[in-house]
Amino acid sequence: MLTKLFIRLCMAAAVAAFAVGASWLAATRAVSKVLGEPPPKMGSQTTTFLWRGPPNIAGRPWAWRFVYSHTVVPGAPNVRIYVTPFGRLLSAEPADLQARLKGMHKDY
> 54-105: per-residue pLDDT in tens?
988 889 999 999 999 998 888 888 999 999 999 999 999 998 888 888 877 6
Q: What is the pLDDT of residue 68?
A: 94
- Mean pLDDT rounded to a whole number for the chain: 90
User: The domain containing residue 36 runs over which residues?
Assistant: 2-106
15 burial via Cβ count (<10 Å: 0-12, 13-18, 19+): exposed
- The one-letter amino acid code at 108 reads Y
> What total of structural domains would you count in the chain?
1
For residues 43 and 21, the model is more confident at: 21
Stretch 12-38: mean pLDDT: 92
Give CA–CA dist 49/43, Å, rounded. Answer: 20
> Residue 73: its pLDDT value, please?
86
